[in-house]
Chains A and B, each alone.
Chain A
Amino acid sequence: MSPSRTTDPAGARAARRPRPVKAGHVFVAGYVILLAAFGVLPTAYGIYYAFTSTGNTFAGLSNFASAARDFRYLPAVGHVALYLVIWLTFLVLFVTGLSVVLQQLPVRRIARVARFLYYIPGALAGAAGVLVWLFMLDPTVSPAAAFLRFLGYGTFGQVIEPGHLSIRLPMIAFWTGAGGWIVVMGGALNTIPTELIEAARIDGAAGWSIARRIQIPMIRKWIVYMVILAFAGGTQLFVEPQLISAASLGVAGRDYSLTQLSYDLAFQNNNVNYASAISVELLVVSLVVAALFVTRSRFFDAS
């Protein structure tokens, strides 16, 4: 029972209101410097590139139009859209579900071990994953060979056929990314006071209804955060197709996503303006979705 709930003279309350301006500013000072130098400045520069062409002349929307006319652009948009749908579904469903299940396990130790095991692939990002997936997806040498052959694949080439990438890529992304989010959600779930859950249990609520009525609503902000970042990360799909492309020596996964195209335009064609145009498009889409979620869930409220 805190004093603020008792009747308090208005005067005392006014006096008690902290002088937040100075203290708050000091607290964020270090971060603001880093934000300005390594966040805002490069981002502004990137946006600047998108609206100018070589020689720093203003180019309006022409970079956007030219980038969209590239023969790889439209297929990439389709790929990314499909990837997003599958990836977000996997992620939200399984991460939330697994986190809740783990949290409700009676034996805490099992939950800790499971979280650790789920997390391990997260360390195999990037170049480290190339060798692993090259072998995992090859029915000749994979430990999951029986499973692959059951699905009808005889060679590596068949497993990575272009049509199948829409499932393979979210799977690889989930494999590397889910563990981290499960850890975050685990931490989030632990902030829910246990009395709530005990009280519900006493009243006979079982696992699923506890999850549905108490846990998930209370970690709503975390889920929104995860969705926003997963959406943005999904639009910026890069690592997974790049990995498949390296493993297959270019047979699959090359120029699959918009970010790969942006990267090619920037560094192979020296066209940083087209590349930035694509980046700005991705930024705008992510911002719109983020804004939607943020306003609907009152994400920025200081409570």
Chain B
Amino acid sequence: MPPKNSVVHARNRARPSFSRSILAFGAAALMAAAISACSGGSSGSGSAVKDGFTQATQSAGPLTVWVDSTRVPAAQAYQKAHPNVKLNIVTYDGDANGADTLQTKVDLYDRTGSGWPDVVFSATDNETSWGVSAGFLAPLNEGLIPQATLSNFATGSLNPCTVNGKVYCLRNDLSQVVLWYNASLMKQWGYQVPTTWPQYEQLGETVAKQHPGYLVGNAGDTFTPEIYMWASQCQANDVTGLRTVTVNVTSPDCTRMASLLDTLIKAGSMSKLSVFSTAFDKNEKGKVLMLPGPAWFGGAVFDSTSGLNVPKGQVAAAPVPQWPGTSTPSTGNVGGGTWLLSAHSAHLKEAVSFISWVTGNNAWQDELTPGFPAYVPAAKVWLANQAKSGYYAVNIDPVLQQAAGEVWPGWGYGKFSQESIWAATIDPGLTAGKTIVSMLPAWQTAITNFATSDGYQVSP
């Protein structure tokens, strides 16, 4: 082992060395400032204002398209149909599940002044909440895309894309909420499909007594508020401007739905589990009588081996129940993706052609897309194909089409995620046995907190 004097030596050197450390950091800071001055977000040089925004200098080159895995076939189909176009297809996570990939990357590209993709598919509907002020999204209705095309999108489907009258994205698919039910069981037990929420509640209580263990609904998903609260016209997410929102969850619209959910949960005919949880999978197969849910429940929950795997000919859909006295029927919406066009793109013509094709083209939309297309002509073809499969007990086309136009516009698309807020605030309480009604004030506080920290002005 080393003799002691080397220890003494080392200690004597202590003082000068710390000042060296400070010098090192100081020099580094200077360098850092220098780098920040040199690099920097320069907008496209030689830009011109056209079609409602400052366009970058256009040039020839490959079109960079970011898609998630499910939409890769769309991009490939486009390539096949347009062999002369050079496409650079990049797969990313689609911004699903609250990942902020797109915003993170765009922020980095903004700092360096280059690297933005031309077209992006996003699995979320709220990219406009940051993309417009970041200058990333190009307005589409000021000359890039003809109004005739835009009017072919289902009523209200372009709402998440619209800010101050300008349309900043194209909707890929709708997820309108309908009332799914098992027609065979309903017939067998002689129940009528409810058309009002009080009827629905009553049926739920009846089922709990007569056929315990069977479900008429599910309140354990993170998107539960988008099914029930949205359909009930609850003012939990009334986004009134780019950074303003009105939140009032203690109003009767909200409390009556909350208490309906509580009643049925207590009775036992509404589950507190997520439809995608293993417990639901294991215990609820064959036990689902009714299930309010979005259009994609059909394929993802009922007709899926990983889901309930209900046999052919049993599942049907009806319009979602309404509260008595509502003038316009309303339903909720759970998701749906959007196609975005970058304002920094140097290949606008090709980008517009791509984006119009993938949203409107029947060949891709009806064969390869899993969701109900937002573009009406494509939707018609998609519905026809669904009917051919013969899975459903009745023809559900009219139900889906009707619901597509009834999505309540009072629930907006903010920066903050209502699903995350519900998941973190309400779900733990549900697990612990609390009632939703008792948790409404906490929900209000949570929404207010998240909205405020995202820069929103919240009005009660």
Listed A/B pairs (26) with beta-carbon separation below 8 Å: A36-B28, A40-B24, A40-B28, A44-B29, A45-B32, A47-B25, A48-B29, A56-B33, A56-B36, A72-B453, A135-B278, A140-B279, A141-B278, A157-B220, A248-B423, A249-B97, A249-B222, A250-B419, A250-B420, A252-B424, A268-B415, A269-B453, A270-B130, A301-B6, A301-B7, A302-B6
A3 CB to nearest chain B CB (Å): 13
Contact B278 A156, beta carbon cutoff 8 Å: yes
Instruction: Select which of A44, A157, A161, A269 is within 8 A of B32 by beta carbon.
Output: A44
Checking A135, A269, A301 against B455 with a beta-carbon cut-off of 8 angstroms, the contacting residue is A269
Contacts of B31 in A (CB 8 A): 41, 44
- Interface of chain A residues 42 through 57 with chain B (CB within 8 A): 43-45, 47-48, 56
Q: Is the CB of A157 within 8 A of B278?
A: no
Tally B residues with Cβ within 8 Å of A: 49
Any B CB within 8 A of the CB of A108: no
Does chain B have a CB within 8 A of A150?
no
How many chain A residues touch B (CB < 8 A): the figure is 40
Give bound CA distance, A158 to B24, whole Å.
51
| B35: chain A residues within 8 A (beta carbon) | 45
Does B107 belong to the interface (CB within 8 Å)?
yes
With known contacts A140-B278, A302-B10, A251–B428 Cβ distance under 8 A: yes
Residues of B within 8 A of A158 (CB): 431
**In the complex the two chains form, what is the Cα distance from A222 to B213 in whole Å?**
58
Known contacts A40-B25, A41-B32, A303-B2; A162 and B428 CB within 8 A of each other: yes
Q: Does B148 contact A (CB under 8 A)?
A: no
* Pick from B274, B415, B424, B449: contact of A254, CB under 8 Å: B424
- With contacts A40-B24, A250-B222, A252-B424 known, what are 7 further pairs, Cβ within 8 A? A45-B35, A71-B453, A156-B278, A161-B428, A250-B419, A268-B415, A270-B134
Q: Is the CB of A156 within 8 A of B1?
A: no
Let me know if B424 and A138 touch, CB within 8 A. no
In the complex, A190 Cα to B393 Cα: how many Å?
A: 72
Chain B window 442-460, contacts with chain A (Cβ cutoff 8 Å), 1 for yes, 0 for no: 0000000100011100000
B147 close to chain A: CB less than 8 A: no
CB-defined contacts of A40 to chain B, threshold 8 Å: 24-25, 28
Asked whether, in the complex, the Cβ of A138 is within 8 Å of the Cβ of B431, the reply is: no
Chain A residues near B97 (CB, 8 Å)? 246, 249
The reply to whether the CB of B98 lies closer than 8 angstroms to some CB of chain A is: yes
Tell me the minimal C-beta distance from A144 to chain B in angstroms.
14
Decide yes or no whether A155 CB sits under 8 A from chain B: yes
Q: Are B32 and A138 in contact (CB under 8 A)?
A: no
Complex: A248 Cα to B130 Cα, angstroms: 26
Once the chains are docked, how many angstroms separate the CA of A17 from the CA of B169? 73
The answer to whether the Cβ of A31 comes within 8 Å of any Cβ in the partner chain is: no
A300 close to chain B: CB less than 8 A? yes
A45–B453 CA distance with the chains assembled, in angstroms: 25
Tell me the B9-30 residues at the A interface (CB within 8 Å).
9-11, 24-25, 28-29
Q: Which of A241-255 contact B (CB under 8 A)?
A: 246, 248-252, 254-255
A198 on the B face (CB < 8 A):
no
Contact of A140 among B10, B11, B282 (CB under 8 A): B282
Contact between chains at B423 and A268 (CB < 8 Å): no
Of the candidates B2, B103, B431, B453, the one whose C-beta lies within 8 Å of that of A70 is B453
Interface-central residue, A4, A43, A135, A249, by most chain B CB under 10 Å: A249
Q: Which 8 A-B pairs have the closest CB atoms?
A: A157-B431, A44-B28, A250-B423, A303-B2, A45-B32, A267-B104, A250-B420, A44-B29
**Complex: A44 Cα to B33 Cα, angstroms:** 10
B304 within 8 Å of A by Cβ?
no
B273 within 8 A of A: yes
Task: Return chain B residues, CB-CB under 8 Å to A254.
Answer: 420, 423-424
Task: Let me know if A161 and B432 touch, CB within 8 A.
Answer: yes
Q: Does A213 contact B (CB under 8 A)?
A: no
Q: Tell me if A112 is interfacial: C-beta within 8 Å of chain B.
A: no
Q: Which residues of A contact B33 (CB under 8 A)?
A: 48, 56
Q: Is B10's CB under 8 angstroms from A300's CB?
A: yes
User: In residues 190-237 of chain B, which contact A (Cβ within 8 Å)?
Assistant: 220, 222
> For B417, what are the chain A residues with a Cβ–Cβ distance below 8 Å?
250
How far, in Å, is B245 (CB) from chain A's closest CB? 16
Instruction: Provide the residues of chain A in CB contact with B455, threshold 8 Å.
Output: 269
Q: Mark B88-110, 1 if CB is under 8 A from A, else 0.
A: 00000000011010011001000
Pair A41/B28 contact, Cβ less than 8 Å: yes
Q: Does A201 contact B (CB under 8 A)?
A: no
Asked if A149 is at the interface (CB within 8 A of a chain B CB), the reply is: no
Q: Is the CB of B449 within 8 A of A71?
A: yes
Q: Does A220 contact B (CB under 8 A)?
A: no
Q: Are A48 and B32 in contact (CB under 8 A)?
A: yes
B104-130 residues with Cβ-Cβ distance < 8 A to A are: 104, 107, 130
